[in-house]
Amino acid sequence: MRSPGRLRRLPVHMLRKLFKTVYIYAWIVLVTTVLGSYLILRALMGRNERLAHRVAGRWARSILWVTGVKVEIEGLEHLDPAGSYILMPNHQSHFDIPVLLGCLQCEFRWLAKAELFKIPIFGKAMRNCGYISIDRTDRQAAFESIRQAGEKICNGVSVLIFPEGTRSSDGRIRSFKKGGFVLAVDSGATILPMGIYGTRRILPKKTLLMDPGPVTLCIQPPIETRGFSRETKEGLMEAVRGSICEAYTRASRGQASC
Ordered by start, the domain boundaries in the chain are 4-253
Digit-coded pLDDT (tens) for 69-83: 999 999 999 999 888
Tens-digit pLDDT profile for residues 5-16 = 555 565 766 777
How many whole angstroms separate alpha carbon 27 and alpha carbon 130? 24
Q: Count the Cβ atoms, other than its own, within 10 Å of residue 194.
A: 26
Q: For position 5, what pLDDT does the model report?
A: 54
- Of 3.30.360, 3.30.2010, 3.40.50, 3.40.1130, the CATH number of 4-253 is 3.40.1130
Inter-axis angle of helices 179-187 and 139-154, to 10 degrees? 40
- CA–CA distances in Å: residue 199 to residues 79, 175, 184, 215, 243: 21, 19, 27, 6, 19
